[in-house]
Structure 1
Amino acid sequence: MVENRTSDQVLRDLLYLACPDAHPVDRKTATDAIDTAVSQGRRLDPAEIPALVNGLLPGPVYGMLDADMTDAGLRGADLAQVNLVGADLSRADLRDANLSGADLTSADLTHADLSRADLDSARLCSALLVGARMAGANLNRADLTDAGLTGADLDGVNLSSADLHNARLHNANLDGAYLRDADLTAADMGTVSLARADAGGANLVGTHLVGAYLVRAELSRARLMGANLTNAVLCAADLTGADLTRAQLFATDLTAADLTGAIGIAPASLSGVRWSSDTNWPDALLHMELLSISEDLGNGLYRVPGPGGARAVNPDRTPFA
């Protein structure tokens, strides 16, 4: 019978399952503490959980492999180095939690709240984070290879040196995110919002950025070889020194963008591109060639011949006059 079981009773059973080889004395100490909380009619403080689990295991790394923690209330919990491979943490409250070094490979964190959580060096390979709230989280050096982050809120997150190879970030919010030196090779970032994000030096080789919003984004020295930037908005973006070799720039908006020192740009790859008199091209020769073939839209705006084209927008997302 499982109906009417409290979260503390479920946790007690999870501890038994996760720690079958623990010494009986240590295991009894942990479960007695949980039973005491139950008898007193109080919820177990998330801060008590790590101490109980640590008492059951011989080393610093503990875990709840494949545990069902749906809707768990773990705000502020210290779960550093925890093994949560395959765990179901969908809709869990993990705000301000310490998950540094945790292994969340293939974990389900769909619609979980990880706002301001510390996930430094955490493993999230193939984890599901669809619709997760992660604003202000620290994911420095985290491994998010093949992770599903569709529609996730990653506003202001720290993803410095993180591995997002093949990650699915379609329609995610990464405004103000710190992605310096991150690996986003072949990631799906279609219609993602990266306004004011810092992706300097990031690896974006073969990345899908169709319709992405990159206003005022920092992309200096970014490797964008073979990236698909069709219909992307890069108004006032910093692309100094970026490598755009074989990048698809069809109908991209480069109004007021800075491409000083960028390489791999050729007029043939700029069909339908919008630009402005204050767009900085890599060299004067390219500037003059584009000026000679572009349609003058007025107000210092130009469009390279070609079908379609995203409507030029100001950095505040309002259309240019």
Structure 2
Amino acid sequence: MDIIIRNYEGTREEILSDVDKGSFSRKIEENQTYELDFDVTQTERNKIAFDLVQHESSILFDGQEFIIKQMSSNASGSSVTKSITGAHIYTTMQDGYQYNTLTGRRSISQLLSHVFGSENLGFTWEVIDSEEKFSTVEQENFGGDNYLKLVQEIIEDYDATMLVDNKHLSFYPRGDYGKKINEPIRYKYNTDSVDFDIDTLNLKTQIRGFGKQDDDDNYFFDPIIYTSPEAEKWGIRIQDPIEDDRYTVAGNMKKRLKKELNDKPDVSGSVSLKFNSDINIFDWVPFIYEPINLNTYIQVVGITDYPFLPNEPLEVTLSNTKKTMTSILANLKKKGVI
């Protein structure tokens, strides 16, 4: 795979050769991070491209565009090395601003339409799957901020996962994206560096759902109670009910309850795999943890890979928790991107 460097003005573009391939990493985290890091030293062969390596220049790699936001230079004699962090182009949403605000119950699509309006900086978006899988949320004075902050607010309010393809944004209900694979991760067996947090504080085994009422305050169907099979192990632990007037069919509400019930321990953490793997971001992998007899699927929500080191194991972040992930803005500020 070639690494292309393009100047800020978009008038010059070169293949960037002699990159330190051992330093080249790509990091993706759900709703948080998508960046490249690498070092490059000036050589006779790359001196033209090397001059293009500046703040706000673009790096084109594996079909995606990244913007150089952090760069340090180190000179040793006549040798100059630049250390680069390139943030994915979707972070340039921060350069747009929606001054207008709105109030009232809104769907995720209505809010996205409001954010981007006509001055969309070239961004496009789509909501994947039916709107029914996203709750409508009461908003108060939504707007008055940059696009990136507003999109992060949408992600949190609607419990969404955002996938990016350059400036095209796709929004899925969190947990609905990704395929199940049969390559298990067994705690301390096929992992090297391990850091896990297993939390039963929010473990629940029963939930009730209320659907739409007619003009006489009669429900279209009797309230549904769903009890997880996990109740045999953990007992009855009641989760806050769901009240949603979009539901007029009992079967649809039952599906929603099964999805919403937090009937597994919250598991999150990171591992460095001992083996090469084809695991991808958002895949669901079997996770086995013998001390509490846990054997469940858990989603890959972060990956750091080394594209030019095929034998270097992946560093993988896993989570099955329904907790909102760390704010994209806090993460970017910490990294000095904004």
**TM-score in terms of structure 2 length:** 0.20
- After TM superposition, the score normalised by the length of structure 1 is 0.21
Higher strand proportion: 2
The answer to which structure, 1 or 2, has the higher relative contact order (CA under 8 A, 6+ apart) is 2
